[in-house]
């Protein structure tokens, strides 16, 4: 049977049209303020586009190189610190909607991935690599690094707490 490919659809077109309409209204209402806002927005975009490209290319390369069977041998019962680090790294570099990861995580779990590492993976997804440059631009490098560090610590604590609270019921 042939695989059916879905036709290309432009996502976010309504949001984009709404933004264009708001800018048009602003240009009619207050031309000078709208011009400054448009200039600042374009200036920020020009600053972060190269970083977006590098992050997305690196993330895509890593996602293409890693397969579930390769990953699961490092996330089993005897994985130790390596398992924790891999769960954190995988959570950080993964992107897309959360539900898209459920089938792969379920397959990894069937092959022996520990539940506490699944919890760690999901919690560490709070760090979004493509958005880090924007966060650095708005809040600064120090703030972004400290917040990211605390999110990673929180991911480890969530996994450990799950392990303790689930006890024998979880697949450790």
pLDDT tens track for 101-152: 787 788 778 877 888 888 998 899 888 888 888 899 899 999 999 999 999 9
Average pLDDT (18-41) is: 86
Query: In the prediction, which pLDDT does 154 show?
Result: 93
Query: In the prediction, which pLDDT does 158 show?
Result: 92
Residue spans per domain, the chain: 9-65, 67-172
Query: In the prediction, which pLDDT does 172 show?
Result: 52
State the chain's mean pLDDT as an integer: 81
Per-residue CA distances from 144 to 57, 62, 64, 140, 157 (Å): 21, 23, 27, 6, 20
Query: In the prediction, which pLDDT does 1 show?
Result: 46
- Centre a 10 Å sphere on the Cβ of residue 152 and count the other Cβ atoms it contains: 20
**Selection from 119, 67, 56 nearest residue 93 by Cα:** 56
- Centre a 10 Å sphere on the Cβ of residue 79 and count the other Cβ atoms it contains: 19
d(CA 162, CA 133): 32
């Amino acid at each position: 049977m042939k695989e059916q490919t879905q036709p290309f659809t432009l996502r976010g077109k309504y949001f984009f049209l709404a933004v264009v309409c708001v800018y048009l209204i602003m240009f009619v209402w207050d031309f000078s303020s709208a011009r400054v806002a448009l200039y600042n927005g374009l200036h920020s975009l020009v600053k972060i586009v190269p970083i977006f490209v590098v992050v997305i290319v690196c993330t895509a390369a890593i996602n293409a190189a890693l397969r579930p069977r390769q990953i699961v041998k490092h996330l089993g019962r005897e994985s130790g610190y390596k398992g924790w680090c891999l769960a954190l790294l995988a959570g950080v570099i993964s992107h897309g909607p959360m539900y898209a990861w459920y089938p792969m995580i379920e397959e990894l779990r069937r092959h022996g991935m520990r539940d506490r590492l699944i919890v760690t993976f999901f919690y560490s997804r709070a760090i979004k690599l493509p958005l880090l440059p924007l966060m650095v631009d708005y809040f600064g490098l120090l703030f972004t690094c400290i917040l990211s560090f605390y999110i990673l610590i929180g991911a480890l604590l969530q996994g450990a707490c799950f392990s303790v609270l689930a006890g024998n019921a979880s697949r450790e």
